[in-house]
């Protein structure tokens, strides 16, 4: 059997945190914040394991919308990071999550870039700025 570690990526030739971030709908800063041993976000060693984000264990009554809001991300991104949540079986079960189910999340680490709401902040705030090295 093949074991795939959730929220992990094995670096390929010419990968950088910036190229990974584009593919995973994150920023290079979000990925770098979870990979403290990296000396530079521009050079990754071939085969180097990169943490994409934390693994979240779902709680009773969690759903994709609640988790997305909690971590300041879009539901579509949660589905991208967890293809098993987006398959036809999950869709047939209305995307119901089980308590303790592990899912990958890449939380927004800067409130100004988060897609979050709060009663005191008014409508949903989302920045369109891009992080560039």
pLDDT digits (tens, 9 = 90+) for 103-128: 999 988 765 554 445 454 444 444 44
pTM to 2 decimals? 0.73
Chain segment 52-88, per-residue pLDDT in tens: 999 999 999 999 999 999 888 999 999 999 988 887 8
The pair of structure tokens assigned to 88 is 């036809």
Tell me, rounded to whole angstroms, the distance of Cα 98 from its chain centroid.
19
Q: What is the mean pLDDT of residues 21-48?
A: 89
pLDDT (mean) for 27-32: 90
In the predicted structure, residue 12 carries a pLDDT above the cut 60:
yes
């Amino acid at each position: 059997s093949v074991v795939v570690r959730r929220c992990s990526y094995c670096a390929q030739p010419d990968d950088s945190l910036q190229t990974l971030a584009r593919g995973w709908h994150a920023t290079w800063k979000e990925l770098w914040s979870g990979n403290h041993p990296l000396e530079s976000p521009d050079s990754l060693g071939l085969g180097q394991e990169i943490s994409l984000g934390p693994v979240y264990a779902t709680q009773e009554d969690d759903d994709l919308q609640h988790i997305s809001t909690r971590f300041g991300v879009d539901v579509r991104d949660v589905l991208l990071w967890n293809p098993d949540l987006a398959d036809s079986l999950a869709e047939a079960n209305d995307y119901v999550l089980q308590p303790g189910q592990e899912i990958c999340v890449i939380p927004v680490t800067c409130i100004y870039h988060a897609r979050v709401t709060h009663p005191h902040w008014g409508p949903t705030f989302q920045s369109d700025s891009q992080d560039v090295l």
